[in-house]
Structure 1
Amino acid sequence: MDKKEEQGRIRIHEDLVIYQKAFNAAMRIFELSKRFPVEERYSLTDQIRRSSRSVCANFAEAWRKRRYQAAFIAKLSDSEAEATETQVWLNFAVKCQYLSTEEGRELYSTYNQILSGLVKMINYPENWLISNNR
C-alpha cells in the first residue's frame, strides 16, 4: 500500500500511529512522574509532562495546517523539538533515579520512533498535504 492509499484511511490525526505512540508515551510519563519527589513538582515533573503533551498538541496542529506546506513543516518541527526535549528530561529522571534505567530506555526508544516518523513527514510533506484537487 502506498502513502496515498494509506492516507485515504486517515481521517484525523488520532488515526496516525505516530500520534498514538506520542499520546501513549505522554500518558505513561504522567503515570510514572507521579512517583517523582514533591520538590520536583515545579521543575522536572512539570517540564517532562508539558513537553510530552506538547508533542501531541503540536502534531495535531500540524495535521490541521496541511493546506500550507511551510506551516505544516513548522508545526511538525515544533513537535520534533518537544520530543527531543522530552528525551532530555527522561535522561535527567533516570540520572536522578526517579525512573529505572529500563523505564527510561523504553520511553527514550519510543521517542526515537516518534522522531523518526516526524522527520519522515518533514522530509516528504507532499505525501501528507491537502491538495486543492481533492
Structure 2
Amino acid sequence: MSFKFENLIIWQKSMDLGEEMNLLAISFPKDEVYNLSSQLKRASDSIALNISEGSILQSNAEYRKFLGYSIRSLAEVVTCLHKVIRRKYLSKIDFEKHYKDCYNLMNMTIAYRNKIKK
C-alpha cells in the first residue's frame, strides 16, 4: 500500500535533494541560520511537498499548477546555491554536482507536467 506520489521518480529525487540541501544548510555559519540556511531548507523541502500535495484529489489543471510550484522552488534552490558559492560555503565541485541534480530534476518535472492533460 502506498500513495501514488511515492512511486514518482520526481518525488523520490526531490526527497533526496531536500535531505542533501538540509545537510548543506546546517554546515553554514550560524549567522545564516535565519537567512540562507532557512531559505534553502524551505525551498528544497517545498519541491517534494508540492508534488505530493498536487497529486491528491486535484484536477489535472491543479496538479499541473502544483508541479509548477515545485519547478519554481527548484529555481529558488538554484539561486540559493549561487548565493552559497558566492559566500564561499561550498566548493565549485560540490556546487556543480548539486546544480546538475537540480537541472535534471527540473527537466524531469517539466516533462512529467507536460504529460498531464490540460
- The answer to whether the superposition gives a TM-score over 0.5 is yes
Q: Deviations over 1:75-119 (max 9, x none)?
A: 000011001110000111111111111111111111111111111
Give the AA of the match of 2:74. Answer: A
Q: 1:23 aligns with which of 11, 15, 18?
A: 15
Partner of 1:41: 33
Unaligned runs of 5+ in 1: 1-9, 130-134
Matches within 5 A, 1:1-134: 12-65=4-57, 67-126=58-117
CA distance in 2, matches of 1:34, 1:71: 34
Give the AA of the match of 1:58. Answer: N
**How far apart are 1:11 and its partner, in Å?**
5.3
TM-score, normalised on structure 1? 0.81
Q: Percent identity?
A: 23
**How far apart are 1:57 and its partner, in Å?**
0.2
What is the DSSP-based 3-state SS (H/G/I as helix, E as strand, rest coil) of the residue aligned with 2:63? helix
Aligned residue pairs: how many?
117
Give the AA of the match of 2:70. Answer: S
What is the DSSP-based 3-state SS (H/G/I as helix, E as strand, rest coil) of the residue aligned with 2:64? helix
CA distance in 2, matches of 1:22, 1:122: 15
CA distance in 2, matches of 1:51, 1:41: 14
Larger radius of gyration: 1
Asked if the contact 2:55–2:63 (Cα under 8 Å) also holds between the matched residues in 1, the reply is: yes
* CA RMSD in angstroms, aligned pairs only: 1.7
CA distance in 2, matches of 1:52, 1:11: 21
